[in-house]
Structure 1
Amino acid sequence: MARAELTPQEKQLKKEISATLNRLLEAKGCKKIDVVNGTGINNSTIYDYFNGKFLPTQKNVIKLAAFFHVKPEEIDPRLDPTPSNAIPINRIELHRIPVIGTIACGDPIDAEQNVVDYLELPGHLPDGAFALICEGDSMEPGLQDGDRVVIEPTPNVEDGEVAAVLVDGDTKATLKQVRHVGDTIWLMPTNPAYSPIVLDKDHPGRILGKKIQMIRYGSR
């Protein structure tokens, strides 16, 4: 059953669409009968739209838009593909962070401290954040070869968090899940084909920071 009453928003929308259609008609320099002939919409329906008596259907809005050579949402804002709560891209704050070499998701690789690229990411990022390129498969399936991992610089990492760690006298870097066991730190892979790396007083390491975000790039 059709509703007896329109909402206040729908009543206002009828007025806006009517005003838009009449403005477009005047700008095009034609008559309503031309709109009827050009769209195939029947005469009484066209007049009802122009007089603000009825809201046009989506199908008819598209026909009207084609006739006037405008986007459908310019006639009826209900057809705007942009969500009403979306933030325009020019209002999103982007943060530019450096991509610093690669880090092993496997056996540790030589640490590289050269900036090889930059990422621009939306939202809040901690001071000094940087990204590393994953290499290897020891952290699959969560992290894959070629992924970019955003790191928050911090020496404090909780059990279960993934950290970027320098090992072997700060000459090699690896990305692993951290587990504290007594006075040792175990760097745990998620791929069972790999063994943990144990850090202790004889095999020290230095935590660069923890993973806070991952960007999937696929295979490098």
Structure 2
Amino acid sequence: MNEILQKIKLALAEQNLSQAEFAGIIGFSTGMVSNVLSGKVKPSRRFILLANSFIESKMSPGAACKKKREFPNGQRKVPLIRWEQAATYAPEAVLSEAEVEWLMMTGSPGQETFALRVEGDSMIPEFTAGDIIIIDPTVEPVSGHFVIVSIEGERRATLKQLIRDGGQIFLKPLNDRYPIIDVTSRPLKIIGVVIEKTKRYA
């Protein structure tokens, strides 16, 4: 373990990168990087994997400059997962860049943030098939939020608008062709709140 930490510190020194810049590159908070490098916190498998990938990419000063342009401070990668994965998604389970597609986000998305590609037409016109939505599981859902929900007995998670009316809970599709779902008495898990939407054309 000490060997990987020493390699990280050496790579940062050689490339003249701060801990904050390194954190932005591998998608962890500056505080987490600081705690890991100081030995206060044991790094996760994902941290080690991404750190090793970072170290291996530093073959020349030119590569370092390119890496910094590709991952400027204030950006981090977010995994684009499948709908089948959403119901049981765990950030620590995403171990390899080869396993999923990664998206770059600006701002300060949480460590548990992930993305999904919209499917179907139940949420048109606001969400159309192919749109990319960013979900933060740490945001407290309130009535009116667009949420990703896992309903007991259903294989896939779903995107709907959360409606709370008194003691009742509904999942509302925006497309009038689909019925509003009363989930007041149904076991369900709100996986996260949609915080952003992007659209790709190519």
Using the size of structure 2 for normalisation, the TM-score is: 0.54
Identity over aligned pairs, percent: 31
Partner of 1:216: 199
- Alignment pair present for 1:204 and 2:187: yes
Contact 1:147-1:218 within 8 A present in 2 as well: no
Runs of 4+ in 1 over 3 A off after TM superposition: 88-92, 110-116
Contact 2:87-2:191 within 8 A present in 1 as well: no
1:196–1:154 Cα change, 3 Å: farther
Tell me, in whole angstroms, the C-alpha distance in 2 between the residues paired with 1:139 and 1:191. 5
**Number of residues of Structure 1 aligned to a counterpart in Structure 2:** 126
| Alpha-carbon shift at residue 144 of structure 1 (Å) | 0.7
Contact 2:112-2:138 within 8 A present in 1 as well: no
| Alpha-carbon shift at residue 197 of structure 1 (Å) | 1.6
Larger radius of gyration: 1
Which one has a larger percent strand, Structure 1 or Structure 2? 1
Pick aligned residue for 2:164 from 160, 180, 199:
180
Partner of 1:138: 122
Correspondences of 1:16-31 after superposition (within 5 Å) = none
Partner amino acid for 2:75?
L
Contact 1:169-1:205 within 8 A present in 2 as well: no
| Alpha-carbon shift at residue 93 of structure 1 (Å) | 2.1
Pick aligned residue for 1:94 from 62, 71, 75:
75
Contact 2:121-2:129 within 8 A present in 1 as well: yes
Partner of 1:129: 113
Tell me, in whole angstroms, the C-alpha distance in 2 between the residues paired with 1:141 and 1:124. 28
| Alpha-carbon shift at residue 89 of structure 1 (Å) | 7.4
Correspondences of 1:15-164 after superposition (within 5 Å) = 91-102=72-83, 116-154=100-138, 156-164=140-148
Tell me, in whole angstroms, the C-alpha distance in 2 between the residues paired with 1:123 and 1:208. 21
| Alpha-carbon shift at residue 172 of structure 1 (Å) | 2.6
> Secondary structure, in 3 states, of the residue corresponding to 2:195?
strand
Partner of 2:31: none
Using the size of structure 1 for normalisation, the TM-score is: 0.50
For structure 1, the residue ranges without an aligned partner over 5 or more in a row are: 1-87, 104-109
Tell me, in whole angstroms, the C-alpha distance in 2 between the residues paired with 1:92 and 1:190. 37
